[in-house]
Amino acid sequence: MRQLQHVDIAVIGAGPAGLAAAAAARSAGAAVIIIERDDRAGGILNQCIHDGFGLQRFDCALTGGEYAHIDELACRDAGVELLTDTYVSSIERTESGFALHTMTTGLISVITAAAVILAMGCRERTAGAISLPGTRPAGIYTAGTAQRLTNMQNIMTGSRFLIIGSGDIGLIMARRVTLEGGSVAAVTEIQPYPGGLDRNIRQCLTDFSIPLYLETGIVEILGTDRVTGALIAPVGRDGLLDTTRSTHIPCDTILLSVGLIPENELTRSLDAVMDPVTGGPAVDEHLMTSVPGLFACGNVLQVHDVVDLVSQEAAHAGTCAAAYLRGERAEKRKTITLQAGEGIRYVLPQSMSAQGSTLLSCRVRKPMEDVTIQIRSGSELIYRQQLPYVQPSEMIQIPLDLSETAADTSVEVHCVRT
Ligand SMILES: Cc1cc2nc3c(=O)[nH]c(=O)nc-3n(C[C@H](O)[C@H](O)[C@H](O)COP(=O)(O)OP(=O)(O)OC[C@H]3O[C@@H](n4cnc5c(N)ncnc54)[C@H](O)[C@@H]3O)c2cc1C
């Protein structure tokens, strides 16, 4: 066992969230360590060799690696300690904060910290999660695994692809394998609308003439040793797949892009209150969980669509964690719960103090045109904004200030037709 190390703030994960949180906490005066299981910082961005990152934050299109490199340099310049090849296997509360049990090759250590920022990102849903019918021949990958193999290990996973699910990673991989000389027969989506961003539909499918079949599911995967094809079918009026109208798609590889699951095993082990819709912990406006001194940001908190918002959210978590250590929490006021109302799937943060302010994030349940976002407390209308179009794949952010309102128990966010 290595000697125990103590820091003010331990950040778990060196993806864009962990890096931004650490830099912000360090520049607010805290001694910070980032613990990363991979051999380098950057998280998922390391496998994203396409550009499009940093458009909002830097006003230019960077690759994932370039974006992460800027934040890693900022951390190193600021004096953040970065521990790579180190896995946080468990975490427990102590009298003075937290004890993190870490593993590097052949070495188990304990790092104690007064506060912890969770930035472990998320993992992909697999074939098991969607009860994929048929056999399990070789040639079935999650889109992120295929992305890692193609971009980091130069391994092309197949030549003729079918992509199930229209999440952003699947769309990006449709373009990627096409550029590498493969062909994509189709992308299928069980919902009546795409799961990914409009810009990815245009740039990754339309520009390469790759068809997107909405309201279409997979009936059977074909092949014994290797995938030889799949049967797909449209959703019928009864909501089930209409197998009488199934189509055979010849392919040797199937990529799954069917959703992401925030990596919250450590969070749950601390009995933090979880939000069943986001899959992440419930937080207040300081991004602190129900466990005092435990903060969360990035994809472990809510799955984001653009990394710029991950960095923005994480920097806020870092600043708040440092303020928490200085004892600068606002005096205890009444807690307001923030709730998803009509047309809204979830709202984050889930609570905030009365008369406080926050940058609220939410997602709608389905695509809608000409809507009004309303924030209400009982009969009081606190905020309204008209939007021409909303869709679940695009997070909506609203600066919410309760200082002028009488709201003192709960606030609901609604999305209604204008
Ligand atoms: C598979 C996949 C592919 C993606 N591809 C794209 C893309 O092509 N384009 C795009 O715009 N966006 C993509 N995204 C989304 C984008 O990368 C994320 O929005 C962003 O990386 C989230 O940042 P994060 O720091 O929250 O998480 P991550 O980038 O996932 O970073 C989390 C870090 O935590 C570390 N970690 C987790 N658990 C532990 C532990 N117990 N101990 C130590 N370290 C730990 C991980 O190793 C990782 O480095 C992808 C996401 C995924 C999951």
Q: Residue 340: beta bridge partners?
A: 413
- Domains in the chain (CATH in brackets) are 5-123+261-329 (3.50.50.60), 126-258 (3.50.50.60), 336-417 (2.60.40)
Q: Is the pTM of this model over 0.85?
A: yes
Q: How far is the CA of 43 from the centre of ligand 1 (A)?
A: 5
- Closest atom of ligand 1 to CA, residue 260: 53
**Residue 347: DSSP 8-state:** E
Q: How far is the CA of 65 from the centre of ligand 1 (A)?
A: 12
Instruction: Return the residue whose CA atom lies nearest to atom 13 of ligand 1.
Output: 169
Q: How far is the CA of 216 from the centre of ligand 1 (A)?
A: 28
- Closest atom of ligand 1 to CA, residue 52: 11
The Cα–Cα gap between 225 and 167 comes to: 28
- Given a cut of 70, whether residue 331 has pLDDT beyond it is no
Give the chain's mean pLDDT: 94
What's the pLDDT score for residue 72? 98
- Give the mutation target among 53, 89, 120, 258 for probing the ligand 1 site: most ligand atoms within 8 A of CB: 120
Q: How far is the CA of 300 from the centre of ligand 1 (A)?
A: 9
**Residue 39: DSSP 8-state:** S
Instruction: Return the residue whose CA atom lies nearest to atom 49 of ligand 1.
Output: 43
Judging by DSSP bridges, how do beta strands 344-348 and 357-364 pair with one another?
Answer: antiparallel
Q: Which residues have C-beta atoms less than 6 Å from ligand 1?
A: 12-18, 35-38, 43-45, 48, 87-88, 119-122, 124, 144, 147, 168-169, 172, 260, 263, 298-300, 304, 307, 310
Q: How far is the CA of 256 from the centre of ligand 1 (A)?
A: 17
- Closest atom of ligand 1 to CA, residue 142: 1
Quick: pLDDT tens for 45-99: 999 999 989 999 999 999 999 999 999 999 999 999 999 999 999 999 999 999 9
Which range has the worst mean pLDDT, 131-135, 293-297, 343-347?
Answer: 131-135
Q: How far is the CA of 69 from the centre of ligand 1 (A)?
A: 14
Q: Name the token pair of 199.
A: 């810009």
Contacts of 375 (CB under 8 A, 6+ apart): 360, 381, 382, 383, 384, 398, 400, 411, 412, 413, 414
Q: How far is the CA of 244 from the centre of ligand 1 (A)?
A: 40
Residue 102: burial class (beta carbons within 10 Å; 0-12, 13-18, 19+): buried
Instruction: Return the residue whose CA atom lies nearest to atom 38 of ligand 1.
Output: 120
- Closest atom of ligand 1 to CA, residue 50: 8
Q: How far is the CA of 64 from the centre of ligand 1 (A)?
A: 11
| DSSP states along 358-409 | EEEEEEESS-EEEEEEEEEETTEEEEEEEEEEE-TTS-EEEEEE-TTS---S
What's the pLDDT score for residue 332? 60
Which of the pair, 300 or 5, is modelled with greater confidence?
Answer: 300
What's the pLDDT score for residue 136? 80
Instruction: Return the residue whose CA atom lies nearest to atom 8 of ligand 1.
Output: 48
- Given a cut of 80, whether residue 128 has pLDDT beyond it is no
Contacts of 201 (CB under 8 A, 6+ apart): 166, 171, 194, 212
pLDDT band for position 406 (cuts 50, 70, 90):
confident
What's the pLDDT score for residue 330? 56
| Residue 178 contacts residue 184 (beta carbons within 8 Å) | yes
The Cα–Cα gap between 161 and 4 comes to: 50
Q: Where are the alpha helices (DSSP H) in 93-139?
A: none
